[in-house]
Structure 1
Amino acid sequence: MRLILLGPPGAGKGTQAQRLVERHGIPQLSTGDMLRAAVKAGTEVGKRAKAVMDAGQLVSDEIVNQIVSERVDEPDCRNGFILDGYPRTVPQAEALTGILAGKGQRLDAVIELKVDESALLKRMEKRVAETIAAGGQVRADDNPESFKKRLDEYREKTAPLSAYYAGTGELKTIDGMADMDVVTAEIENVLAEAARVK
């Protein structure tokens, strides 16, 4: 089961990804984790990534694509994986299609959690209030200004992926504002349908 979860910050991707990891026994692959692992392992591409990061620069698509390509070859990805935070752009999505095709694989689903942004903002504010009330630590970027900035960035860079995957026929949209368990059930329906079509 190879899938991508799309949706703006706060849409619940992390929660749903964890449920999928537990239910299907497949890893959740986040770009940051993959980069750190490659650097730590001292792989060839990891060394290149480290040099770029040490110079305070952004890691190129070419390096990120190679790290993803190597990561999905690892044994824990044999039954599939969930990509989180990759692809971020249409060129990365096109590269991913090529990477998987080269391995005789393809995506089973691209699931987008559709959300109402103003409701998301309220949800975020509520979460912050609850965290503070419980005596917890609030993330530095969990404030309305940072959140709006992250939403704008998502809309500008990542939202075009929706159009791209709609064009390839792989995109399935789910109402991310629904109850968490309803969203989980909808995702499972999409995956079951993908398995049938396979």
Structure 2
Amino acid sequence: MNIMLFGAPGAGKGTQAKYIIEKYGIPQISTGDMLRAAVNAGTPMGLEAKACMESGKLVSDDIIVGIIKDRLSMEDCKKGFILDGFPRTLAQAEALEKLMIEMNISLDKVISLNVPDELIVGRVVGRRVCKSCGGSFHVEFNPPKKEGICDFCGQPLVQRKDDNADTVAKRLAEYHAQTAPLFDFYKEKGVMEEIDGTKNIKEITEDIFKILG
């Protein structure tokens, strides 16, 4: 089962990914995590990415797609994966489509968590994340069982530096300019499923499970 979680920053993709992982036993593929892992492992693509970052340049789409190819080729992706945070532009979506054709795989579902911008800001400012496993919580809407501690792995939760109102507004503007057009791209392919992301977390999870079967 190959899934992509789609939606604005703060829509709840990270939170829902954890429940999908628990139920279906498939890995979450995050471009940020993959870049760091490739750099630390010293893979050919990782070395190219490291050179770009050290020179202050953006990592090119070709390098990111190459790293994704390496990741999707690993054994734990054989029965499926969850794409989170990629693609972000139409060019990346087209590159991913080409890669998947080469690898003889395809996306089964793209799940869009629809949340109005005004709710996103409150969600992100109150968000707390686990640096160890990536678990995501909210001080009001999804508090951890023990304050400041991740439910999944027991490590401390932190607030990201960019989880503030000004940064969120800029990220939302970028999302609407670059990433939102991908909605139509995947809808035309017949794999897009929409979910009301303003519901409570349990209801959203249940809606996702109904779609995935």
Question: TM-score by structure 2 length?
Answer: 0.83
Alignment of 1:46-195 (within 5 A): 46-125=46-125, 130=139, 138-192=159-213
Q: Kindly indicate whether the alpha-carbon contact (under 8 Å) linking 2:35 and 2:49 is maintained by their aligned counterparts in 1.
A: yes
Distance of aligned partners of 1:130 and 1:170 in 2 relative to their CA distance in 1, 3 Å threshold: closer
Secondary structure of the equivalent of 2:111?
Answer: strand
Aligned mates of 1:83, 1:120 — CA distance in 2? 21
Q: Shift of residue 127 of structure 1? A: 5.3
Unpaired runs of 5+ residues, structure 2, are 129-137, 141-146, 149-156
Distance of aligned partners of 1:126 and 1:59 in 2 relative to their CA distance in 1, 3 Å threshold: closer
Distance of aligned partners of 1:137 and 1:41 in 2 relative to their CA distance in 1, 3 Å threshold: closer
Aligned mates of 1:58, 1:181 — CA distance in 2? 37
Distance of aligned partners of 1:82 and 1:130 in 2 relative to their CA distance in 1, 3 Å threshold: closer
Secondary structure of the equivalent of 2:73?
Answer: coil
Unpaired runs of 5+ residues, structure 1, are 193-198
Q: Shift of residue 137 of structure 1? A: 5.2
Q: Which has the higher helix share?
A: 1
Higher mean C-alpha deviation, range 93-102 or range 54-63: 93-102
Look up the equivalent residue of 1:140 and give its one-letter code: K
Q: Which residue number corresponds to residue 196 of structure 1?
A: none
**TM superposition outliers: structure 1 runs of 4+ over 3 Å:** 122-131, 134-138
Q: Which residue number corresponds to residue 31 of structure 2?
A: 31
Look up the equivalent residue of 2:170 and give its one-letter code: K
Secondary structure of the equivalent of 2:110?
Answer: strand
Secondary structure of the equivalent of 1:88?
Answer: coil
Q: Kindly indicate whether the alpha-carbon contact (under 8 Å) linking 2:127 and 2:159 is maintained by their aligned counterparts in 1.
A: no
Look up the equivalent residue of 2:162 and give its one-letter code: D
